[in-house]
Structure 1
């Protein structure tokens, strides 16, 4: 039976960056259908008890950096612990990926997602900047018209729908993978995701 994974993430999440390519590979290998759903954690945290990074206790902030370094080294993925453009608004990139998913399909949306995440964490680029998003579209081989479409009502409606779907599914952090109503939170749960998809 072909399984479906609802893939929820925030476009500025380092954990989504660390897990993205692995998730894409394992989902493809399992023949799973992926529904790409970028979400607004700013709307989810108040409902789930989550806190923005700057409001977390100092020891939690410090340990986050330790874990990011560990995972980056383990996965051999470049990652700037203190990127130039972070914190950064993910709203525009969320709308853009949502429109690409709707109009160009899953593969295109996953490709753009990987480019957006790498832009923040490996390339020191500002994903809140319109010119950066236009360049990422071009580099991903996608239609430049998607940017204007993402800035119209369509883009916001799709992004809002993804965030509401995340709330309805009980998602509280990024990345999250929902399979048959069950939430797997965090890129460190990808082994469990793979087992479920292959079951």
Structure 2
């Protein structure tokens, strides 16, 4: 039986987008079980020493754009480093992914996560807009009622629990993968994730 990976991320993160399909393929190849756990980085950053993008030094902001272009080119993944709808609140999409995970399971949650991240970084769509999220549900063949369910208190409670679990696991950025208590931060650490899953 494959290992379990706790997959912590923010749906508005470009790094989550760049790594998502590779991670999904790795999960399929290794037979790993994935727990899809979007978390609120707005609550993680203050505890872990992180800064929101607009508060980072200009040098760091400039280098981030350079790295996004590098990884987009190297991976062959289309990405606009400065998309029309960014910064954007990830909470509505995170709650939707959480609702899908609760009702439809991890595979469905992985599908909608891929669609949400691509919507921001490749398609110039606003993932804080509920009509966009409804369209993404249809695009991925998921039940339209998940959007209404994402607004319910139980989903918000689960989202908050996932955020606390991320903090408790030592997560400080997205995406992060936790396997048997071991943390791997960043889509550029997927080679190490693969080695761990294949060990």
Same fold (TM over 0.5): yes
Preserved CA contact (<8 Å) 1:99 1:154 = no
Deviation at 1:88, TM superposition (A): 0.1
Separation (CA, whole Å) in 2 of partners of 1:81 and 1:170 = 28
Q: TM-score under structure 1 normalisation? A: 0.99
- Match of residue 116 from structure 1: 116
Question: How many residues are matched?
Answer: 199
- Match of residue 157 from structure 1: 157
SS in 2 for 1:18: helix
- Match of residue 66 from structure 2: 66
Give the aligned CA root-mean-square deviation in angstroms.
0.6
- Match of residue 105 from structure 2: 105
Deviation at 1:92, TM superposition (A): 0.4
SS in 2 for 1:151: coil
**Residues 26-60 of structure 1: per-residue CA shift (max 9 Å, x gap):** 11101100000001000000000000000000000
Separation (CA, whole Å) in 2 of partners of 1:142 and 1:164 = 28
- Match of residue 19 from structure 1: 19
Separation (CA, whole Å) in 2 of partners of 1:194 and 1:38 = 21
Deviation at 1:152, TM superposition (A): 1.1
Give 5+ residue unaligned stretches, structure 1: none
Separation (CA, whole Å) in 1 of partners of 2:84 and 2:155 = 27
Give 5+ residue unaligned stretches, structure 2: none
Establish whether residue 54 from structure 1 lines up as the match of residue 49 from structure 2. no
**Residues 140-197 of structure 1: per-residue CA shift (max 9 Å, x gap):** 1000000001011122011111111101101000000000001000000000000000
SS in 2 for 1:28: helix
**Residues 55-114 of structure 1: per-residue CA shift (max 9 Å, x gap):** 000000000001000000001111011100000000000000001001100100000000
Preserved CA contact (<8 Å) 1:177 1:183 = yes
